[in-house]
């Protein structure tokens, strides 16, 4: 199955209650061969209307943060754990995450990113497969079986809680260093194309 075939297969998904309140499935956007992938929580109002993740105020902030570390949205891939907007932007329910996360895992398998940046609690817990708070793990590097994980505060949370904005910007500065460490030394530009695991990674047995 290709990424496009996966998107087509779930465009009218009815596996959970969110099918009753969404406008459309928000699958993901960006480079289907990206070495770097960003994963958020769920679509909001504007994402639900346009069918593209991170197009509202949080998306504008994310674009600004990406540009600050030399990344463009066209070079990466962006998706969410949940593909349909929860009513009134409420938190996803556990059964909704369980129902939808296989789609995310299949996206990751098909894209094959070397580095995945999880944004917020839901994305981080889903990818770490561990109940941990983003305040504990943000800005740290984890080597998983298939990719390196770098958790971040969610841009929407930073917009609602101004105290998180500076830590989020600092984590993107750390991300820039991580990209430099992971890039093969023979190719300074490779952070957007090829990444290799860094020795500066934190193992999950710390938890």
Specify burial of residue 100 (Cβ count, 10 A radius: 0-12, 13-18, 19+).
Answer: buried
- pLDDT over 70 for what percent of the chain? 88
At 190-199, the pLDDT tens digits run 444 445 433 3
Are the beta carbons of 105 and 112 closer than 8 angstroms? Answer: no
Per residue in 156-166, pLDDT tens? Answer: 999 999 999 99
Closest CA to 158 of 132, 118, 120: 120
**Which DSSP state fits 85?**
P
Residue 186: predicted pLDDT? 55
Report the predicted TM-score, pTM, of the whole model to 2 decimal places: 0.89
DSSP output for 11-55: TT--SSGGGGT-SS----EE-TT-SEEEEES---HHHHHHT-SS-
For the stretch 65-123, pLDDT in tens is 999 999 999 999 999 999 999 999 999 999 999 999 999 999 999 999 999 999 999 99
Higher pLDDT, 10 or 201: 10
Give backbone dihedrals phi and psi of 22, rounded to 5 degrees, phi first: -80, 160
**Residues, the chain:** 207
Q: What is the CATH number of the domain that holds 120?
A: 3.40.470.10
Which range of residues forms the domain containing residue 126? 3-206
What does the pLDDT look like over 121-146, one tens digit per residue? 999 999 999 999 999 999 999 999 99
What's the domain count of the chain? 1
d(CA 164, CA 207): 23
């Amino acid at each position: 199955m290709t990424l496009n075939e996966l998107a087509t297969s779930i465009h009218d998904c009815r596996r959970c209650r969110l099918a009753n309140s969404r406008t459309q499935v928000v699958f993901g956007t960006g480079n289907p061969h990206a070495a770097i992938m960003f994963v958020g929580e769920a679509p909001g109002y504007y994402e639900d209307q346009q069918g593209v993740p991170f197009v509202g105020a949080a998306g504008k902030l994310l674009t600004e943060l990406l540009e600050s570390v030399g990344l463009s949205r066209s070079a990466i891939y962006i998706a969410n754990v949940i593909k349909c907007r929860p009513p009134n932007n409420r938190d996803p329910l556990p059964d909704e995450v369980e129902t939808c996360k296989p789609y995310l895992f299949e996206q990751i398998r098909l894209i094959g990113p070397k580095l995945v940046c999880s944004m917020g609690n839901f994305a981080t817990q889903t990818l770490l497969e561990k109940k941990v708070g983003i305040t504990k793990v943000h800005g740290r590097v984890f080597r998983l079986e298939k990719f390196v994980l770098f958790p971040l505060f969610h841009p929407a949370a930073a917009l609602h809680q101004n105290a998180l904005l500076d830590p989020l910007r600092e984590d993107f500065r750390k991300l820039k260093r991580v990209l430099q460490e992971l890039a093969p030394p023979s190719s300074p530009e490779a952070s957007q194309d090829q990444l290799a695991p860094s020795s500066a990674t934190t193992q999950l047995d710390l938890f």
